[in-house]
Amino acid sequence: MQAMRRTLVSMAILGTGFVLAALLIVLRPEPQVAPPEVSLPLVRVMTLSPTQHRFVLESQGTVTPRTEIDLVAEVAGRVVHVAPAFRPGGLFRKGDLLVALEPTDYELAVTRARAALVQAESNLLREEAEARVAREEWEENGVGPPHPLALREPQLAQALAAVESARANLLQAQRNLERCRLTAPFDGRVRTQRVDLGQFVNPGQVLGRIHAVDCAEVRLPLSLEDLAYVDLPLAFSETAGGSPGPEVVLSARVGSRTGTWHGRLVRTEGEIDPRTRMLHAVVRVERPYEARDGQPPLVVGSFVHAVIQGRTVSNVYVAPRKAFRHDRELMVVDAQGRLWLRAVEILRRERDRVVFRGGLGPGERICVTPLDVATDGMQVRILAETDGDTASMPAAATEPARP
């Protein structure tokens, strides 16, 4: 009896639930249909004007001396003097004595050569006198044309040749004596030292390596594409070398500050590197070891960053790279706020901006906000308009200050 009662109660509860569910379904309110909201992209725009632009190329290289030679002994001898400056890094002036060899043997050779010259000149005087006497005797007693032996002409010529030989030997001995003193051929610095006091050296032995400090050079690799943006002395012509090359600003980190040096591109090497397909341009810096305006000296072996002033073009536009879709198409916003993808003539892609020609009409602005999706005719909302002055562009393409 109790089991049947529980069953009836359960069925009553289930029935009541089904009835309530049906009432809720029947009496539910109809949903209101609203049009979907379209969120327009919010972008920043920039107005550009045609301007004049100077291309700037960047490269890197190592500082090398323009003039560097081996100091070589021309005569044999023992080293009796080494200048205090003849040490790695030592500075010297043109004409300073760097290394001296024992001169005694060469002084004796000069003395012997001078004595031989005196003896040869004495023999020449005697032969000249005897030849004069022989000619006078022939003129008094001879018949017909005289024979050269009768006038002692061969003996006179031999004596004259002996004098010339003795003079040459004396000059050679004096030159060898001078070569005992190795002097600096230019103002420079010692790179390596290979000899010291008391060492015996032979002719042709390298005593050290020195380089001049009047100017330094830097080899800068440039790609073949870069050649279109800078005037390089490539072609051979009668006027080659007459005009100065482009200006170059070199910079390097020295301690806690960055040093800058100004130079000029003076030449290019005669061939393209077959491995890298790069052409090396050579920049020359005058007086690199002089400290000017608090700048440190440009030491040989320094690794420097170079900024080369290239050609100047007119009537072009300079825009940030983010204004281009996939680095190819310019995003243009018209007066009605619609975005268009436009192909333009790109002259050069730089680090943070692009130089191009054409593609902009009156009243059109460029979009400088990167968009994930961009299609022709897409409506956009303009948040703000930024300054389009080229002075506000990244510093990588601005001209460096001149000295």
- Among 312, 332, 362, the domain-final residue is 312
pLDDT at 400: 36
* Rounded mean pLDDT, 361-374: 85
- Among 281, 312, 343, the domain-final residue is 312
Residue 14: pLDDT band by 50, 70, 90 thresholds? confident
* Rounded mean pLDDT, 158-180: 93
Vertex 125, ends 123 and 126: CA angle to 5°? 65
DSSP 8-state code for residue 42: E
The pair of structure tokens assigned to 264 is 């000029």
Q: Kindly state whether residues 231 and 199 are assigned to the same domain.
A: no
CATH of the domain at 261: 2.40.30.170
Q: Domain range holding 329?
A: 43-52+314-397
pLDDT at 242: 54
Q: Kindly state whether residues 158 and 175 are assigned to the same domain.
A: yes
> Is 40 within 8 Å of 381 (Cβ atoms)?
yes
* Rounded mean pLDDT, 38-45: 84
pLDDT at 383: 83
Q: Kindly state whether residues 95 and 113 are assigned to the same domain.
A: no
Alpha carbon distance, N-terminus to C-terminus of the chain: 115
In a domain, 372, yes or no: yes
**Cα 117 from Cα 101, distance rounded (Å):** 26
**Cα 241 from Cα 266, distance rounded (Å):** 8
- Among 283, 312, 341, the domain-final residue is 312
Looking at the DSSP bridge assignments, the partners of residue 264 are 247, 284
CATH of the domain at 340: 2.40.420.20
Most confident of 86-100, 117-131, 247-261, 316-330: 86-100
Residue 390: pLDDT band by 50, 70, 90 thresholds? very low
Q: Kindly state whether residues 115 and 79 are assigned to the same domain.
A: no
pLDDT digits (tens, 9 = 90+) for 227-255: 888 887 665 444 455 567 889 999 998 87
* Rounded mean pLDDT, 279-288: 92
Q: Kindly state whether residues 48 and 119 are assigned to the same domain.
A: no
Torsion angles phi and psi, residue 227, rounded to 5: -65, -20
DSSP 8-state code for residue 126: H
H or E segment and range at residue 139: helix 104-141
pLDDT digits (tens, 9 = 90+) for 201-210: 999 999 999 9
How many structural domains compose the chain? 4
Give the helix ranges, DSSP H, for 28-74: none
In a domain, 278, yes or no: yes
Q: Kindly state whether residues 114 and 157 are assigned to the same domain.
A: yes
Query: Going by C-beta distance under 8 Å and a sequence separation of 6 or more, which residues neighbour residue 42?
Result: 369, 380, 381, 383
Q: Kindly state whether residues 153 and 201 are assigned to the same domain.
A: no
In a domain, 21, yes or no: no
**Cα 196 from Cα 338, distance rounded (Å):** 81
Whether the pLDDT of residue 328 is over 50: the answer is yes
Q: Kindly state whether residues 222 and 260 are assigned to the same domain.
A: yes
**Cα 248 from Cα 310, distance rounded (Å):** 9
In a domain, 402, yes or no: no
Task: Report the candidate in 387, 370, 388, 377 with the shortest Cα–Cα distance to residue 337.
Answer: 377
Task: Report the candidate in 285, 205, 197 with the shortest Cα–Cα distance to residue 249.
Answer: 285
pLDDT at 77: 95
pLDDT at 354: 92
Query: Going by C-beta distance under 8 Å and a sequence separation of 6 or more, which residues neighbour residue 207?
Result: 70, 71, 72, 73, 99, 182, 193, 194, 195, 201
Residue 341: pLDDT band by 50, 70, 90 thresholds? very high
CATH of the domain at 86: 2.40.50.100
pLDDT at 110: 95
pLDDT at 143: 62
In a domain, 193, yes or no: yes
Number of other residues whose CB lies within 10 A of the CB of residue 152: 20
Whether the pLDDT of residue 391 is over 70: the answer is no
Q: Kindly state whether residues 304 and 219 are assigned to the same domain.
A: yes
- Which range, of 51-55, 186-190, 370-374, averages the lowest pLDDT? 370-374
DSSP 8-state code for residue 322: G
DSSP 8-state code for residue 48: -
pLDDT at 290: 81
In a domain, 11, yes or no: no
pLDDT at 156: 82
The pair of structure tokens assigned to 318 is 């300079």
Q: Kindly state whether residues 295 and 217 are assigned to the same domain.
A: yes
Of 295 and 43, the structure prediction assigns the larger pLDDT to: 43
In a domain, 299, yes or no: yes
pLDDT at 9: 67
Whether the pLDDT of residue 97 is over 90: the answer is yes
- Which range, of 77-81, 122-126, 265-269, 290-294, averages the lowest pLDDT? 290-294
* Rounded mean pLDDT, 308-334: 90
pTM above 0.75, yes or no: no
In a domain, 22, yes or no: no
**Cα 295 from Cα 5, distance rounded (Å):** 107
Q: Kindly state whether residues 194 and 279 are assigned to the same domain.
A: no
Mean predicted lDDT score pLDDT of the chain? 84
- Which range, of 220-229, 240-249, 306-315, 388-397, averages the lowest pLDDT? 388-397
Q: Kindly state whether residues 188 and 97 are assigned to the same domain.
A: yes
pLDDT at 29: 73
